[in-house]
Amino acid sequence: MLRNKHLRLDQGKIERAKKILKAKTETEAMDKALGRVVQEERERLRRRRLMKRIIQLRSSLGTNVFFTNKI
């Protein structure tokens, strides 16, 4: 859902975001930047769930399963 918003933002940051994100408009830059923030949070949560599963697996199998001294 798109809505109009009136925000007070640092123009320098907007210009940098436009350049970094290769956006043609300020609106496009803001949309891309917000999209990246949301995606980063999804990835952070996914990694956290994965690490939790790995820790659970390691604890159920024992710590020596993944680390051996064999050469």
Alpha helices (H) in 1-71, listed in sequence order: 11-21, 26-61
Which of the four pLDDT bands, split at 50, 70 and 90, describes residue 39?
very high
Mean pLDDT of 16-36: 97
Q: In terms of Cα–Cα distance, which of 2, 70, 62 is closest to 34?
A: 2
**The model scores a pTM over 0.85:** no
Q: At what angle do helices 11-21 and 26-61 cross, to 10 degrees?
A: 70
Return the domain boundaries, the chain: 11-62
User: Given this model, what pLDDT does residue 10 score?
Assistant: 97
Q: Sign of dihedral through CA atoms 48, 51, 56, 57? A: positive
Higher pLDDT, 64 or 39: 39
